[in-house]
Amino acid sequence: MDILSGLNDMQQEAVKTVSGPLLILAGAGSGKTRTVIHRIAYLMTECGVAPWRILALTFTNKAAGEMRERIDSFGIENTNEIWMGTFHSIFARILRRHAEYIGFTSDYSIYDETDKKNLIKEVMASLSMNEKVISPDTVMNLISDAKNNAVFPSDYEKEYGFYTFKRDIAKAYDVYQKKLAENNAMDFDDLLLNAYRLFTENPSIADSYRDRFLHVLIDEYQDTNRLQYEIVSIIAKGHNNICVVGDDDQSIYGWRGADIRNILGFEEDFPDAKVIRLEQNYRSTSNILDAANAVISNNKNRKGKELWTALGSGEKVHILRNNRDTDEGDNIASIIKELVSKGARYADFAVLYRINSQSRVLEESLLRASVPYQIVRGTRFYERQEIKDIMAYLKLAVNPKDEIAFERALVSPRRGIGPSTMEKLADYAAFKGISRLEACSRAMSVPTLSGSVQAKLSEFAHIVESIAVTAASEGLEAAVKYAINESGYKEALMKRPDDPEGRVRNLEEFVSAAADFEASSEDSSLSAFLENAALIAGADTISDNDGQVLLMSIHNSKGLEFNTVFVAGMEEGLFPLSRALEEESELEEERRLCYVAMTRAERRLYLSYAETRRQYGATRASEPSRFISEVPEEYTDDARPLRTWRPGSSGSRAQFTSSFGTANYKMAARPDEKKNTSCSEQTFSPGDKIIHSAWGAGTVVEVGILNGDVLITAAFAGLGIKKFIPDASRVKKA
């Protein structure tokens, strides 16, 4: 077996550099994952490193799973002993082993976003914080930011206290953490914050993992936050055998805490670091790459590299100019249909956008053109209501102190337990110094409760206890089935009007997930299953159906590739977003996002913009994005805007001018242009019944004027109120 076979020179050098700190700057489509996998295999086969001495950290379970599968394909023994997984899964594993050192038991619960928000609301109420002044989401985000920056409650006010409202956040943060501890629970951010705390408060534990992990590898290093950096630095301290792989030009998650300074400052943090650039791209043609290189070169804060390819020049980048946003959708649909008629598949296409709300117009156009599509968005499996309801029973069976799980399980299904009963139960639990679940088990001794209520609470406690007993005696799958059936949840679910069959199918799939976990996991306990479920990657999933055009945000497209890519809505204020125009760091992140979008394309790339776009109910004129003007003409077709930049421009909206010469545009015709009739041929009045091509039957509520256009307000069954400028091809009187 030749581990270096099939690797280019720079990839081979990255694989063979096994001592000391190493930064692999891996450009888009440069074979990053392949290089990392071969490097791990090289460590084990050529350097004799035991698999359990390798720590490989990723950002998604999917990435970790793919890496492990590909390493297994080498036929190397004991690869299952490699510590490979997401930051959260690896450090949750470590915390389970040492939870008692930081005041938790090994069966602690992991709170998801809903659990977290419910607890935040409870904390805010206890502190008399007005949700209309500071929303629970704001409190959640500020606490999360603090944790990602390794700021504990005791330091929060010192760090941010000069802002008055931050003092309130400091109190909320402190109470929130205490409530979590009382519930023997952690949120996702705590899995890292508490690992950091474990290592800093217990140097001997930190030393044991530092000695264990002789080699540390981190994928997507540009996406790490400050807290992740601190934890990894502790583990790598001493031997400094740390290899980080990433691309500063693809750092697009600053809004959720990613700190680009980690990758930009790697050589300062590790002075002996070696830097290897992977610049050969195996995905895109040179016109696409050269265009993307030209755009990203305008960023000042970057390490610098130039992607190149041996795939030929290919088609030039297409600049698609549209009169209106509706035209944009129609033109994209028309181009897709034309290319499909010439042999392309619908699965070859992706339409990317900056914000999710852009999808509506695009969807309508694809529907009218009968183009099959899938939106890469939606409710993830473990976030579905019925799954979370049953998970609450399972969590409570493992951790009786989990008060958030208690509140959810007790009312799923409804048992006729009202606020008065809950208050009496809470009073009794507080008086006895026990959890509310234990209070339920003693309900027959609570004199303030009626006999029927005592029976209901006792039965509930018995169900939860039986789930734990079933898990221990009959196994995980049996415990999940017991929770679904004996709780009465499935029976109640079938009486609901909102897709009961579909929800039951989800529960059946949940049982299958438990069975699969039980069959494939070394630790098949209920607590291990709950941890695995909580840590499953949050990325949107793409179905296996290869007959659809994919619509998705640019953020969701990262790591994917498509034969043909449309980047829609490339207009100032939309992409880049208006809030980024006055802040250089934010504008640079928007440009990195544009770079990511462009480098998803393999053979064709369309950069599209509209001269007018409806936003927030009003039609506004738009200017083409500065990112279009940053692409040299030699890499594009001739449909491009003329833009003159003033010397010394820092990028704000006021520092450029645009001129639109018709000779410099190739106007994309609307597919239905010849069919359109004047809107003036139809008049509308309140009460009129209408048929809309996308929304179906409706009733006109109001008729007004907007910027000289007729503006219709109408009600559509199941969709509510819609406002639109009537177009004869799309709306007619019934």
Of 379-393, 443-457, 558-572, the range with the lowest mean pLDDT is: 379-393
| pLDDT score for 519 | 83
For residue 488, which phi and psi values (nearest 5 degrees)?
Answer: 85, 5
Range 575-591 average pLDDT = 89
Helix 164-182 with 136-148: angle, nearest 10 deg? 80
Range 667-683 average pLDDT = 41
Contact 172, 143 (CB under 8 A): yes
Count of alpha carbons within 13 Å of 108, Cβ hemisphere only? Answer: 29
Element (H, E) at 422: helix 419-432
d(CA 270, CA 549): 45
Look up tokens 């691309």; give the residue. Answer: 247
If one compares 637 and 539, the residue with the highest pLDDT of the two is: 637
Contact 102, 190 (CB under 8 A): no
Q: How confident is the model at residue 621 (pLDDT cuts 50, 70, 90)?
A: confident
Range 643-657 average pLDDT = 34
Kindly list the catalytic residues: 32-33, 219-220, 250, 600
Domains 9-95+193-280 and 679-733 share a fold: no
Contact 354, 553 (CB under 8 A): yes
> Which residues have CB under 8 Å from 284's CB, separation 6+?
28, 29, 292, 309, 311, 314, 599, 601, 602, 603
| pLDDT score for 656 | 30
Identify the CATH number of the domain defined by range 679-733.
2.40.10.170
The burial of 662, by beta-carbon neighbours within 10 Å (0-12 exposed, 13-18 middle, 19 or more buried), is given as exposed
Each domain of the chain, given as residue ranges in start order, spans: 9-95+193-280, 109-183, 287-379+543-664, 381-535, 679-733
Identify the CATH number of the domain defined by range 9-95+193-280.
3.40.50.300
d(CA 609, CA 356): 16
The burial of 132, by beta-carbon neighbours within 10 Å (0-12 exposed, 13-18 middle, 19 or more buried), is given as exposed
| pLDDT score for 310 | 93
- pLDDT at residue 157 greater than cutoff 70: yes
Q: How confident is the model at residue 539 (pLDDT cuts 50, 70, 90)?
A: very low
Look up tokens 């695995």; give the residue. Answer: 532
Identify the CATH number of the domain defined by range 381-535.
1.10.486.10
Tokens of 133: 């002044």
* Per-residue model confidence as pLDDT tens digits over 166-216: 888 999 999 999 999 999 999 999 999 999 999 999 999 999 999 999 999
Highest mean pLDDT out of 72-76, 141-145, 356-360: 141-145
List the alpha helices (DSSP H) in 109-252.
Answer: 113-126, 136-148, 153-160, 164-182, 188-201, 203-212, 226-236
Torsion of CA 548, 551, 557, 560, to 10 degrees: 10
| Peptide bond before residue 624 is cis, with ω within 30 degrees of 0 | no
The burial of 707, by beta-carbon neighbours within 10 Å (0-12 exposed, 13-18 middle, 19 or more buried), is given as exposed
The burial of 407, by beta-carbon neighbours within 10 Å (0-12 exposed, 13-18 middle, 19 or more buried), is given as middle
- pLDDT at residue 720 greater than cutoff 80: no
- pLDDT at residue 570 greater than cutoff 80: yes
Helix 164-182 with 153-160: angle, nearest 10 deg? 170
Q: How confident is the model at residue 317 (pLDDT cuts 50, 70, 90)?
A: very high
Range 268-289 average pLDDT = 93
| pLDDT score for 178 | 96
Element (H, E) at 373: strand 373-375
d(CA 222, CA 612): 36
| pLDDT score for 522 | 80
Q: How far is CA 408 from CA 115, 181, 347, 373, 563, in A?
A: 9, 19, 41, 36, 46
| pLDDT score for 615 | 62
User: 270's torsion region: left (phi>0), alpha (psi -120 to 50) or beta?
Assistant: beta
If one compares 731 and 249, the residue with the highest pLDDT of the two is: 249
| pLDDT score for 12 | 95
Angle ∠(191,196,199) on CA atoms, nearest 5: 125
Element (H, E) at 490: helix 489-493
| DSSP 3-state of 542 | coil
pLDDT over 90, % of the chain: 50
| DSSP 3-state of 413 | coil
- pLDDT at residue 370 greater than cutoff 70: yes
Which of 371, 374, 367 shows the shortest CA–CA distance to 694?
367
Of 59-73, 381-395, 644-658, the range with the lowest mean pLDDT is: 644-658
d(CA 717, CA 719): 5
Tokens of 336: 């897709």
Residue type, 291: A
Which of 256, 521, 490, 514 shows the shortest CA–CA distance to 381?
514
| pLDDT score for 658 | 31
Q: 287-379+543-664 sits in which CATH class? A: alpha beta
Torsion of CA 691, 693, 696, 702, to 10 degrees: -50
Of 267-281, 377-391, 440-454, the range with the lowest mean pLDDT is: 377-391
| pLDDT score for 91 | 94
For residue 583, which phi and psi values (nearest 5 degrees)?
Answer: -125, 115
| pLDDT score for 665 | 29
Give the mean pLDDT of the chain: 84
Range 313-321 average pLDDT = 94
Residues linked to residue 621 through DSSP beta bridges, in sequence order: 612
Of 247-251, 253-257, 659-663, the range with the lowest mean pLDDT is: 659-663
Which of 539, 22, 588 shows the shortest CA–CA distance to 272?
22
Q: What does DSSP say about strands 215-218 and 242-246: parallel, antiparallel, or unpaired?
A: parallel
Q: Which residues of 616-642 are buried (b: 16+ CB within 10 A; e: fewer)?
A: eeebeebbbbbbbbbbeeebbeeebbe
Identify the CATH number of the domain defined by range 109-183.
1.10.10
Tokens of 354: 């900056």
- pLDDT at residue 661 greater than cutoff 60: no
| pLDDT score for 161 | 63
- pLDDT at residue 567 greater than cutoff 60: yes
* Per-residue model confidence as pLDDT tens digits over 417-453: 888 888 888 888 888 889 999 999 998 888 888 888 8
Contact 386, 507 (CB under 8 A): yes
| pLDDT score for 498 | 64
User: 24's torsion region: left (phi>0), alpha (psi -120 to 50) or beta?
Assistant: beta
